[in-house]
């Protein structure tokens, strides 16, 4: 324990246990919390009981990461149990506090019928100083600032038609950095807040095409209610910095391609979806499919239509390649496993505030589009077997 912080929790290697297998601390009290042996952050017990899946979200300031994550989590809580017989719950309420608050402001707002500006609905992700987002850990006289992840538990329900899948699950560890964390020099030994990138199985790069004036020139309506965010820096630069850190942290040479998927989450598609497909906002990527069970019988299960996702990805890529080619080039020079998925955290119900001229919405009218698909797609293409897939 650091004596400068007398109330700091002590991490210790237990040698005594209660009959219930609870560790006994040096003062003789049973200990109910666990800490990671490497970073010393508190971790949920499910991280030891289930196979873990580490995911990382990155993007520039103002790209829509916070809105995307809140909408994604809200959708997964509903869709996974309803469509895939799989629970999706918080592994730790404290770790997920910021995200739950964002979900509440968006989808359980106390003023659902009042027009509110999008920029005021939820709080921007902070780069430092957020007690729920970061934790300082003392190693002797050295204090190190770590990023806390969001933690979820996925568990296949006993009602699943396939008995071989029942009881299986994953502990999801999802890291979300503020865009400022990817500025040069922001990751250092005393604040290694992006080292998780090297451990992630899938990267979600959140990209807002409306930040680029070239993209907005495709349709004059795309300029309405948009704040100029060019001063926030290059979105391509954020991705390049993240790619450089992954190479450095994982020992990947400049000639090697990243071997894992990179999902480019292209936000605010309620504004521009018609440029890809006039009917895109009416299409569902989750469909019914006939699957053979281990006993030889057939069952109708929900599955992800990976054929549709790949088709939409190809069209979205082509649109970006003709308007903002440096984004496509940056991603595809880094990995051969890129997928471009359009999403909208708010749906097609946004409007312009009559007082400020900025994008606004009635929270009660929010209808997310495809925000759950990047996560579900990452599971469908993995070997976990939690999400069935079909290609039509």
SS3 letters for the chain? CCCCCCCCCCCCCCCCECCCCCEECCCCCEECCEECCCCCCEECCHHHHCCEEEEEEEECCCCCHHHHHHHHHHHHHHHHHHHHCEEEEECCCCCCHHHHHHHHHHHCCCCCCCCEEHHHHCCCCCCCCCCCCEEEEEECCEEEEEECCEEEEEEECCCCCCCCCCCCEEEEEEEECCHHHHCCCCCECCECCCHHHHCCCEEEEEECHHHCHHHHCCCHHHHCCCCCCHHHCCHHHHHHHHHHHHHHHHCCCCCCCECCCEEEEECCHHHHHHHCCCCHHHCCCEEEEEEECCCCCEEEEEEEEHHHHHHHHHHHHHHHHHHCHHHHHHHHHHECCEEEEECECCCCCCEECCCCCCEEECHHHCCCECCCHHHHHHHHCCCCCCCCEECC
What pLDDT, on a 0 to 100 scale, did the predictor assign at position 18?
86
Tens-place pLDDT, residues 78-137: 999 999 999 999 998 888 999 999 999 999 998 888 888 887 788 766 555 555 566 766
Tens-place pLDDT, residues 230-251: 655 689 999 999 999 999 888 9
What pLDDT, on a 0 to 100 scale, did the predictor assign at position 1?
39
Cα–Cα distance for residue pair 124/318, rounded to 1 Å: 31
58: burial class by Cβ within 10 Å (0-12, 13-18, 19+)?
buried
Q: In whole angstroms, how far apart are CA 147 and each of 10, 57, 175, 360?
A: 19, 13, 8, 31
What pLDDT, on a 0 to 100 scale, did the predictor assign at position 225?
75
Whether 366 and 349 have beta carbons less than 8 Å apart is answered as: yes
What pLDDT, on a 0 to 100 scale, did the predictor assign at position 2?
42
Of 45, 51, 18, whose CA–CA distance to 33 is shortest? 45
What pLDDT, on a 0 to 100 scale, did the predictor assign at position 124?
63
Which residues of the chain are modeled with pLDDT < 70?
A: 1-9, 11, 37-40, 124-134, 136-144, 184-193, 228-233
What pLDDT, on a 0 to 100 scale, did the predictor assign at position 4?
45
Model-level pTM greater than 0.95?
no
Q: CB neighbours of 154 closer than 8 A, spacing ≥ 6? A: 80, 86, 87, 88, 169, 170, 171, 172, 386
What pLDDT, on a 0 to 100 scale, did the predictor assign at position 204?
97
Q: Retrieve residue 129's tokens.
A: 């100083």
What pLDDT, on a 0 to 100 scale, did the predictor assign at position 313?
98
């Amino acid at each position: 324990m650091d004596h400068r912080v007398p109330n700091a929790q002590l991490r210790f290697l237990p040698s005594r246990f209660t009959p219930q297998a609870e560790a006994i601390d040096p003062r003789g009290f049973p200990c109910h919390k666990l800490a990671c042996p490497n970073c010393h952050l508190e971790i949920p017990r499910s991280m030891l009981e289930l196979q873990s899946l580490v995911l990382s979200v990155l993007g520039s300031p103002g790209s829509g990461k916070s809105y995307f994550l809140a909408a994604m989590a809200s959708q997964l809580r509903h869709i996974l149990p309803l469509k895939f017989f799989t629970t999706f719950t918080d592994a730790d309420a404290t770790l997920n506090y910021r995200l739950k608050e964002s979900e509440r402001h968006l989808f359980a707002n106390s003023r659902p019928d009042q027009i509110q500006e999008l920029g005021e609905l939820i709080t921007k992700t902070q780069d430092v100083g957020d007690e729920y987002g970061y934790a300082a850990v003392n190693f002797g006289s050295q204090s190190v600032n770590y990023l806390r992840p969001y933690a979820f538990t996925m568990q296949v329900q006993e009602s699943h038609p396939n008995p071989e899948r029942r009881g299986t699950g994953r502990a999801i560890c999802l890291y979300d950095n503020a865009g400022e964390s990817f500025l040069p020099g922001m990751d250092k030994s005393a604040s290694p807040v992006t080292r998780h990138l090297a451990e992630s199985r899938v990267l979600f790069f959140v990209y807002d095409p409306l930040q680029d004036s070239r993209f907005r020139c495709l349709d004059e309506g795309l300029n309405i209610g948009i704040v100029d965010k060019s001063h926030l820096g290059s979105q391509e630069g954020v991705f390049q910095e993240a790619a450089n850190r992954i190479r450095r942290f994982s020992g990947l040479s400049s000639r090697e391609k990243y071997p894992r998927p990179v999902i480019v989450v292209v936000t605010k598609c309620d504004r521009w979806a018609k440029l890809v497909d006039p009917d895109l906002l009416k299409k569902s990527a989750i469909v019914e499919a006939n699957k053979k069970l281990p006993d030889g019988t057939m069952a109708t299960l929900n599955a992800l239509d990976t054929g549709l996702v790949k088709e939409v990805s190809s069209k979205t890529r082509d649109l970006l390649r003709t308007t903002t080619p440096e984004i496509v080039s940056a991603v595809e020079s880094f990995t051969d496993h890129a997928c471009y998925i359009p999403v909208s955290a708010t749906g097609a119900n946004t409007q312009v505030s009559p007082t400020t001229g900025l994008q606004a919405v009635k929270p009660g009218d929010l209808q997310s589009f495809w925000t759950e698909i990047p996560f579900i797609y990452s599971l469908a293409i993995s070997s976990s077997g939690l999400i069935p897939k079909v290609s039509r």
